Structure 1
Amino acid sequence: MERIEHHASFGGWQDVYRHRSEVLDCDMEVGVYFPPQADPGHPDHGPCPVLYWLSGLTCSAQNFITKAGAQRHAAEHGLILVAPDTSPRGDAVADAEGYDLGQGAGFYVNATQAPWDAHYRMYDYIVDELPAWVEADPVASGARAISGHSMGGHGALVIALRNPGRYRSVSAFSPIVAPSRVPWGEKAFGAYLGADRDAWAAYDAVALVAGAEERLPLLVDQGGDDEFLSGQLKPELLQAACDAAGHPLTLRLQPGYDHSYYFIASFIGEHIAHHARALRRKA
């Protein structure tokens, strides 16, 4: 484990680490924000809950840690923020033309098709390998939540729905809620998972809601002026699935906001407060 960045931020530290991932068979970079409460000298020092953030297409850890303004809110609530990359990286890792497949576009699935299956196991990386490293630090309390944006919002919803009891809360900005039914998801799933659409359902939030074993409330914010709203995101499909299943969903359409980090920065404080309330409750 190598720390490659270290910056003071709102009384805490924004670090970036490089580590070898056995699951992905490549080196990965991950941003970790430690709030001031993680410092042994802080009057409120103690184990801190962890919020995992999954970013969207074309992003790395840098987008969230430099643009979202999340550190101020994490410092206020005493949360560790973990922002991994969006795919495996490196010269030996398969890639493709375009922004929506290959490096930068891992879609948080375990690929089953060549050449992607050699490295693209982002689901296992996020669910198992990354938390095993982060939460081995005694400053982490073991309570965790998950959130994300666009492709990462898809990942956050799917991972929370598939792992009952693992996360105290989940939220998403502009998530791809039904990747099996929109161009971004059809392209990625066809490549990573093959032609069998039944296999796609395991990574489709709308499909998973009906059989969810835990009624973990979903918080979703969507920009009303998002250029991808009708063609790629389709939040109404998640609303209909939750209504049919009786699954708790707070879906907020925010007028005037687009798909950018200006939108995320405007509401990230509310999301972090939402997670902090859940994370501080006793299990």
Structure 2
Amino acid sequence: MSLPSINNLTKKYLDKVPIVGITAYDVFMARVVESLDFDIILVGDSLGMVVLGYETTVPVTVEDMIHHSSAVVRGAPKSLVIVDMPFMSYQESSSKAIYNAGRILKETGAQAVKLEGGKEIASTVEKMVTAGIPVMGHLGIQPQSVHATGGYRVSEMHELQKKKLWEDAFALQEAGAFSTVIECVKEGVASELTKELSIPTIGIGSGRDCSGQILVVNDLLGMTTRAPFKFVKSYADLRTDISESLNAYRQDVLDGNFPTKKNAF
């Protein structure tokens, strides 16, 4: 069996082939995604909101990420699986970051971790990479900082904010990150940054010119209880399909139409 490789991602970037990523949180979805030849499967801490019912990603733990990531790797053993490091699993110290990332990779079989932040975590990223841990960055909107920033919103990107984004991106690149997610950054800014960096940018809500795109699987499949974000294209309405199917089953039982003779041994 050929193992998934970050080198394959880099080759696509150098060949200017768009990189396609998607989230997954369980073995069923992982198997479906792997059958479709996606470049990245991200086990995002977004699972806190779409699977565990939290209001934000902040309460998610390392144990939560290990539990779900292990299932994803079992379902997609040939895929490049990247795991979010949850809030406060890496901010306290480089040694804690290396320990937690090591646990995640060893206990799940995933290939890389993703961290939110810029210059302030660059030294930690460098030490992690030196220790043999592949790291993806995450810039723009950073969901783990939702309490500090006052919510989820696209930045207007004034000159100082743009300067900070550039400094953060290049600090991650120089620290050895192999790629970075750019979330909800104005299209023109994301396009310019993508052209200047020498690592792939993976956009979510950041326009058309990033090196690749990623979405939360529940959003594009319509498996949510809220209206989709502007940057999401809905490809299905599974919430309605599931609701109708479950209601039909319930009604069949009530009406005596299930089980029938053909369902019995």
Q: How high is the TM-score relative to the length of structure 1?
A: 0.32
Q: Say which structure is richer in helix.
A: 2
CA radius of gyration, larger in: 2
